[in-house]
Amino acid sequence: MVVGDASLDIDLLVIGAGPGGYVAAIRAAQLGQKVLIVDKSELGGVCLNRGCIPSKALIAAAHQFESAKHGEVFGVTAENVKVDFAKTQEFKNGVVKKMTSGVTSLMKGNKIEVFSGECMFISDTEARVFNDHESPRYRFKHCIIATGSRPIELKPFPFGGRILSSTEALDLPEIPKSMIVIGGGYIGAELGQMYSKFGTKVTIIEGLDTVLPGFDKDMTRLVAKNMAKTGIEIVTNAKAESAVQNDKEVTVKYSVGGESKEVTAEYLLVTVGRRPNTDGELGLDLIGLELDERGLVKVDHQGRTSIPNIFAIGDIVPGLALAHKASYEGKIAAEAIAGHKSVVDYKVIPAVVFTDPECSSVGLTEKEAKEKGYTVKSGKFPFAGNGRAVSLNSPEGFIKIVANSENNLVLGAQIVGIEASNLIAELGLAIEMGATLEDIALTIHAHPTLGEIVMEAAELVEGHPIHIMK
């Protein structure tokens, strides 16, 4: 407790304890800073508590259920396969607890002071943190704002009752019989397909002409095909207009090509993007921090805002709203504060979607490379040509590598298929280190592994594939 209203002195104030904030705090502490981190919710932020981690736990459970039901191809059969969703949720919550407990231990181990409550700027060097029990004031030399984002709420579809955001969708007590999903981006596609695997009748309403609109059409085509196998209805080029709910169901009215339609389900999940947490009582306007027209904080190449001693990272700054981007920016900001010459370089930020099959991308697409003036060569090697993929009964998909035809430097890669989320790492490293197609092709990959597909894709782009005809 603070006696009177005197300010306590710290080196660094970090606001927000998500994957951006807590990583920034740890890096700063490693560099000798006295750090206070403040969060009004749990350590780990949305990612560990209400996003990345719990969703992947439920997706893993859905895969297990599907495998148990459909093992005939391996000669494995089971009768009366059931889901105890209460135990599934218990598993998910256990995963979350393990991860957040780990963050708590890291805070203690790095001697980072943690305050559970809210924060409000008094000036560009002072802030008050407060909860129901105390309200100390701190004087800081530097500050990193990492307050993250929240689901966008549309006026016709206010959250509550049977209209859910992704947060509520991850905490349902039982598997719904039916669900409507507005928005076929990565969150809607992941959660819609997950519930579909559990047996929910899912309808996805998407405004554009495909689910996962940020990915290559050849990739999304495979995802849509697998969605159809579990009975998902995908309605594209559609505009959701209104919803009416009662205590048992919700009906959504939408239009396609000028024709009005409606669909009814137990729940409506709205996943149309996320909004930066730069409004509210934080007091950014009080200190004159510059925001753009979307409410994002303007920052330089080190994360420094319009106020030199205040930095911002993660979902509240321009760029993709990705946990690993936030962590990366947190390290850069902490190092900049410590006097290092670290700067952000967004050339290699992988994007991953945990649909079935998984999708991942890093670097430039073929179209983007051509738009930047490169002379490009590319090729796709199919998972069907890989022994490990076939033995896993997962021959769908491909790895595409995009290279500069003048010097064979790898410019980008896209993967759709089993373990795409892990396979993309090698190609990200290749781009980061300036590797050529030959560097990948001449690297001996263990057999039989999925990693061989990366090598074979490089050989294909070079013009001498081994396991498929040119």
Q: What is the CATH number of the domain that holds 420?
A: 3.30.390.30
123: domain range? 7-150+275-346
Q: Are residues 144 and 288 in the same domain?
A: yes
Which of 6-10, 95-99, 243-247 has the weakest average pLDDT? 6-10
Note the pLDDT tens digit of each residue in 334-385. 999 999 999 999 999 999 999 999 999 999 999 999 999 999 999 999 999 9
Same domain, 116 and 28: yes
Which entry of 63, 142, 447, 464 is annotated as an active-site residue?
447
Query: Does a structural domain hold residue 240?
Result: yes
CA dist 301 and 310 (Å) reads: 13
Whether residue 145 sits in one domain with residue 18: yes
Q: CB–CB of 371/401 below 8 Å?
A: no
Among 346, 379, 398, residue at a domain's last position: 346
Is there a binding annotation on residue 187? yes
Are 190 and 291 found together in one domain? no
Give the chain's domain count: 3
Q: Is residue 1 part of a domain?
A: no
Q: Which of 318, 346, 374 is the last residue of a domain?
A: 346
The yes-or-no verdict on residue 2 having pLDDT over 90 is no
Q: Is 148 annotated as a binding residue?
A: yes
Residue 156 falls within a domain, yes or no? no
Active-site residue 447, yes or no? yes
Tell me whether residue 73 is in a domain: yes
Place of tokens 């190092």: 335
> Which of 326, 346, 366 marks a domain boundary?
346
- For residues 267 and 287, membership in a common domain is answered with no
Lookup result for tokens 């420094």 = 304
273 is annotated as contributing to ligand binding: yes
Alpha-carbon distance of 104 to 343, in angstroms, equals: 28
Q: Over the chain, what is the mean pLDDT? A: 96
d(CA 264, CA 280): 35
Residue whose C-alpha is closest to residue 328's, from 45, 52, 20, 15: 20
The DSSP secondary structure of 373-427, one letter per residue, reads T--EEEEEEEGGG-HHHHHTT----EEEEEEETTT-BEEEEEEEETTHHHHHHHH
Q: Are 238 and 255 in contact (CB under 8 A)?
A: yes
184 is in an annotated binding site: yes
Query: Would you say residue 92 lies in a domain?
Result: yes
- Give this prediction's pTM: 0.95
* 194 and 95 inside one domain: no
Looking at the predicted structure, is the pLDDT value of residue 93 above 60?
A: yes
Q: Where are the beta strands (DSSP E) in 22-86?
A: 35-39
CB 418 within 8 A of CB 444: no
Please say whether the beta carbons of 360 and 423 come within 8 A: yes
Residue 278 and residue 284: Cα distance in Å, rounded?
7
89 and 212 together in one domain: no
Asked if the structure places residue 337 within a domain, the reply is: yes
Same domain, 342 and 300: yes
Q: Say if residue 245 is in the same domain as residue 298.
A: no
**17-36 mean pLDDT:** 98
> Domain containing 313 — which CATH number?
3.50.50.60
- Say if residue 21's pLDDT is above 90: yes
Q: What is the pLDDT of residues 294-331, one digit of tens each?
A: 999 999 999 999 999 999 999 999 999 999 999 999 99
Per-residue b or e along 217-236, where b marks 16 or more CB atoms closer than 10 Å to that residue's CB: eebbebbbebbeebebebbb
Residue 18 assigned ligand-binding role: no
Asked if residue 314 is part of any domain, the answer here is yes
Q: What percent of the chain has pLDDT over 70?
A: 99
Per-residue pLDDT at 1 exceeds 90: no
> Are residue 317 and residue 383 in the same domain, yes or no?
no
Let me know if residue 469 belongs to a domain. Answer: no
Could you tell me if 418 and 450 lie in one domain? Answer: yes
Question: Is 315 labeled as ligand-binding?
Answer: yes
Q: Would you tell me how many other CB atoms lie within 10 Å of the CB of residue 136?
A: 17
Return the structure tokens found at 460: 């294909």
Same domain for 188 and 120? no
- Say if residue 109 carries a ligand binding annotation: no
- Residues 109-126: what's their mean pLDDT? 97
For residue 153, give the DSSP letter.
Answer: -
Buried b (16+ CB within 10 A) or exposed e, 264-297: ebbbbbbbbebbbbbeeebebeebebebeeeebb
Q: ∠ CA(339), CA(123), CA(333), 5° rounding?
A: 25
